[in-house]
Amino acid sequence: MMTTHEKTNEQPTHALSYYDNLTGLAHKRYYHERMSCLLKTAARRNEQFAFLFIDLDDFKDVNDRYGTQLGDQFLHAIAQRLKLVVREVDFIARLEGDQFCIILDNITDDHDVIKVINRCLQKIKKPLTIETHLLTPTASIGAAIYPRDGINESDLISAADFAMHQAKQAGKQGYVFYSKNKSNLATLRREKEYLLREAFKQNQFVLYYQPQLSMTNRQVVGVESLVRWQHPTLGIVAPDYFLDLVEQLELQTQLGNWAIKTACEQLANWHRSGLAFIPVAVNLSPSHFQDHLLIQTVKDTLQKTGIPAEFLELEVTESAMQTKGHIDVFKQLRKIGLKIAIDDFGTGFSCLASLKQLPLDCLKIDKIFIDDMLSNSHTALLLGTIIGLAHALDYSLVAEGVETEEQALKLQHLGCDIIQGYFFSKPLPADDIPSFIKKTLVDN
């Protein structure tokens, strides 16, 4: 019989054997034992369970940019968030590196699994501050179901791993259920690729424009151009459906040049119809700034359309702003007179202290901050910090995704005077912009 002293000494050993020291989650050895028991129980009871394979997106960038010590803190924070998602009967483990798994016991259908997956994705992507760095984690999740997708551990983890990589290819921050019909997935991809190439040949793209509102005078102070695909069968299609494939096919420069040209031509058309010049923002892919013809393309477009350079703003992601070669291009563009904005600020790996060194004119606060700022005091505090910093550095500031008057008033209270979102207006066809602007002038 084991003595009390021996039992006491065994407890730390058990923890080391079964739990990951960094995250506090079960580790691979415990996972293997739990999976073995679960497979036997599910087979005996004729039950289903789900295996979720979770892989953090771009975690290598965190380690490379900030070092492994901060990377460890990042993983620990993610683990704590995942713990809040699962039920007591479920099992969560860190498999290795930035890969985790969740086993959902005794499920009835895929809808049960989707609810948990969505909670995972929402919980993971909340803004996270570590030391002076503002991070917004995202993850890709692959789901496999016992016994549908496998009757042993090897088959289930292979299926979930395959599905996870499908989620990565689809654009990250999402999930995919395993499908045995891989050839069908490949066929659909080829069809979509063909239609997209045809869209470029037949000029099936169009720009919509979302007005930006000044909370000071409730008038339009600018618009953001947003690309849409006039799909031959689906109608107007949002960019979430096709932009990742545009990147994979290396068509982003072609699309970006078209967007610059189209936006400037439209601004000139509005001006000829009697509308005063307003700033128009165009989103560009980070890789577009590797195009050595970009600066000349911008100069030629401005000269041809007669648009003053200060009314064209190029929006880029945070990752683009961290690349030295890109920064040199931004500096040259600003010498021409263009404005440069960081789009979706706070969703990448921001070092707030580095902002003062960037050739920058505007910060655009991402919708994920707006969504829970009324219910989460930490989010409101982060927003206040970002807004204060932007003002101190003399940057303009736009809050995206504002959907309610309560959100708008809160942002105004925090010091953000320009908003964009469905509270004020959805993205509009170009022909609707002049009348919309005139209406706001009359109303105010």
pLDDT in tens, 349-379: 555 656 777 888 999 988 888 988 888 888 8
Instruction: For the beta carbon of residue 221, count every other beta carbon within 10 angstroms.
Output: 16
Q: Is residue 305 part of a domain?
A: yes
Instruction: Judge residue 8's burial from the number of C-beta atoms within 10 Å of its C-beta, 0-12 exposed, 13-18 middle, 19 or more buried.
Output: exposed
Question: Do 174 and 227 have their domain in common?
Answer: no
Identify the band that residue 191 occupies on the pLDDT scale cut at 50, 70 and 90.
Answer: confident
pLDDT score at 281: 97
pLDDT score at 136: 84
Question: What CATH number is given to the structural domain containing 147?
Answer: 3.30.70.270
Question: Do 169 and 216 have their domain in common?
Answer: no
Provide the whole-model pTM: 0.66
pLDDT score at 72: 93
Question: Do 132 and 92 have their domain in common?
Answer: yes
Interval 45-59 mean pLDDT: 94
Question: Do 288 and 420 have their domain in common?
Answer: yes
Interval 146-167 mean pLDDT: 90
SS3 244: helix
Write out pLDDT tens, residues 202-247.
Answer: 999 999 999 999 998 889 999 999 999 998 777 888 887 788 889 8
Q: Is residue 225 part of a domain?
A: yes
pLDDT at 81 over 80: yes
Question: Do 141 and 214 have their domain in common?
Answer: no
Q: Is residue 7 part of a domain?
A: no
Q: Is residue 21 part of a domain?
A: yes
- Give the span between the Cα atoms of 217 and 395, in whole angstroms: 19
Return the DSSP state at 423.
T
DSSP states of 361-394: SEEEE-HHHHHHTTT-HHHHHHHHHHHHHHHHTT
pLDDT score at 354: 64
Interval 113-128 mean pLDDT: 90
Q: Is residue 186 part of a domain?
A: no
pLDDT at 154 over 50: yes
Write out pLDDT tens, residues 376-399.
Answer: 888 888 888 889 888 988 999 999
Question: What CATH number is given to the structural domain containing 282?
Answer: 3.20.20.450
pLDDT score at 324: 60
Instruction: Judge residue 434's burial from the number of C-beta atoms within 10 Å of its C-beta, 0-12 exposed, 13-18 middle, 19 or more buried.
Output: middle
Which of 180, 208, 235 is the last residue before a domain boundary?
180
pLDDT at 133 over 90: no
DSSP states of 207-223: EEEEEEEETTT--EEEE
Are the beta carbons of 220 and 426 closer than 8 angstroms? Answer: no
Least confident of 88-102, 121-135, 250-264: 121-135
User: Considering only CA atoms, which of 258, 250, 223, 237 is closest in space to residue 421?
Assistant: 223
Q: Is residue 211 part of a domain?
A: yes
Write out pLDDT tens, residues 311-348.
Answer: 999 998 876 666 666 788 999 999 999 999 988 776 65
pLDDT over 90, % of the chain: 50
Question: Do 174 and 231 have their domain in common?
Answer: no
Are the beta carbons of 419 and 401 closer than 8 angstroms? Answer: no
**In DSSP terms, which residues pair with 312 in a beta bridge?**
280
Q: Is residue 325 part of a domain?
A: yes
Which of 140, 159, 180 is the last residue before a domain boundary?
180
- Give the span between the Cα atoms of 425 and 209, in whole angstroms: 10
pLDDT score at 367: 85
User: Considering only CA atoms, which of 72, 37, 75 is closest in space to residue 56?
Assistant: 75
Question: Do 322 and 362 have their domain in common?
Answer: yes
Which of 180, 202, 228 is the last residue before a domain boundary?
180
Question: Do 289 and 266 have their domain in common?
Answer: yes
Q: How many domains does the chain have?
A: 2
Domain assignment of residue 424, given as a range: 191-443
Identify the band that residue 252 occupies on the pLDDT scale cut at 50, 70 and 90.
Answer: very high
Question: Do 338 and 206 have their domain in common?
Answer: yes
Q: Is residue 30 part of a domain?
A: yes
Question: Do 266 and 168 have their domain in common?
Answer: no
pLDDT score at 347: 63
- Give the span between the Cα atoms of 94 and 360, in whole angstroms: 39
pLDDT at 188 over 70: no
Question: Do 78 and 143 have their domain in common?
Answer: yes
Question: Do 175 and 87 have their domain in common?
Answer: yes
- Give the span between the Cα atoms of 420 and 214, in whole angstroms: 9
Identify the band that residue 3 occupies on the pLDDT scale cut at 50, 70 and 90.
Answer: very low
Which of 173-187, 264-278, 322-336 holds the top average pLDDT?
Answer: 264-278
